[in-house]
Structure 1
């Protein structure tokens, strides 16, 4: 078995990424141009849910190129039949496309941050330094990861950069905001 595939399939179990509830997002689908017809030098990014070797994964796309490292993997069955790994993958991917689409297809100024929505510990996509709301909800953390949400997001960040075995750090050592652009900042050999 490929080491990278082992890391990919194991990350969801370690990070315990889980989606529990739908948010009330409406509107845009996959990202297009800039809002208001403006032009941006930043390439348009969209997200895609794919079936990986041992589960489902959310990957970033720019043009015809797809990132080699997934942003998220979805393997956990802990939230039952309504939120299978496939369902979570498609819903989180849809939400990412809505958030990035509302930002003109750009990742700049968007961050992942932990927060509380409806009494649950969640990960949200926010613009600048705002906080989590039902409208910015990306996914719900498992009970295990809810105790250290910034650590869970840091593991996602490390994984998306190919550093799956980064050393543990005290929860207080991690930032509150994790720039989305850093998670999908592709290296030249990946075609971006």
Structure 2
């Protein structure tokens, strides 16, 4: 809960095989049936994943269930998520997922001016994405100044006021993001808004 004084989380994950009822209810006998989707391979059963997240301090419990069977375990280094940010150009870059076909680290970073214990949307000041140029060399795109009505952010739930492509390094992209908060007299701690 928001007023929890000492959050202490425990997480449990469980997978069970569950059977579908031909009448969609759970009262009475469960009849196995064929799935109506011809391409579906699970027939009358499927794997259900249940994730339980409980705060041992305030006793809030979150239960997330879904048809899955796709639990995978990995490391923060492999997925990018959970890795510590690195400081570049005066900003903190939080890594995302790596490219699936390159062994070159993350393909995108969320950017903040400060280093909170856990990154939230309101902490963001920009984002950086890695791409490939015409000859396969690395190139970077940057977006800055979060805005709900910003024109940039295709496929992203976070919209940005400004964007620029063609950076040749992460440092150059980060410095561009940092400079966006200082334009038009804004202070270096400026977190958003229109210029």
More strand by share: 2
- Which of the two has higher C-alpha Rg? 2
Q: Which structure has more RCO (C-alpha within 8 Å, separation ≥ 6)?
A: 1
More helix by share: 1
TM range (shorter): under 0.3
TM-score of the superposition, structure 1-length normalised?
0.24
